[in-house]
Structure 1
Amino acid sequence: MTSTTPKSFLAALSGLFCFVFVVGGASGLLHEWFGWIHFMGFVRFLVPGGYEIYSYVVMIVLGLAVGVAGDTVARRGRR
């Protein structure tokens, strides 16, 4: 079932950050490994030179953590 209650601003913002970090990190990893996809090119400005792989993995983990935190805030607000 879907909920009809609107999400809070913080939950919606964390969902946006989650999407940007996870998709940006994944596309950065694919670009580093295969060299053919560069969907979110602006994330290359967020990583230091020589540490691209580590930075993209951290970006994915950070995006997942932000998504879980936003989901927790949204659930806590429904009580």
Structure 2
Amino acid sequence: MKELLELFGFIALAQGIAGLLHEFTDLRWGLVQRIDFLDGYGLYASVALVVLSIALFAAAESRKSG
């Protein structure tokens, strides 16, 4: 379970950073800008993904391995 939380945390972090890079540098990578209902809210969604990844990493650290 700890590894799964870390994996989801890494994916959320990567997508959040990609979304932030898209907002500030117009780099076309990641899923946030490709989701239609997030049009205009990409920055907020990217920040939320980064915060979610921090929460997932904290939850993974609180779990015992094994």
TM-score range (shorter-chain normalised) is 0.7 to 0.9
TM-score by length of 2: 0.82
Match of 1:50 in 2: 40
Unaligned runs of 5+ in 1: 1-9
TM-score by length of 1: 0.70
Alignment of 1:34-45 (within 5 A): 34-36=25-27, 38=29, 41-44=30-33, 45=35
Higher RCO, 1 vs 2 (CA within 8 Å, ≥6 residues apart): 2
> How large is the Cα RMSD of the aligned pairs?
2.1
Q: What percent identity do the matched residue pairs reach?
A: 31
| In 2, Cα distance between equivalents of 1:46 and 1:67 | 28
| 4+ residue segments displaced more than 4 Å | none
Measure how far apart 1:71 and its partner are: 1.1
Measure how far apart 1:47 and its partner are: 6.3
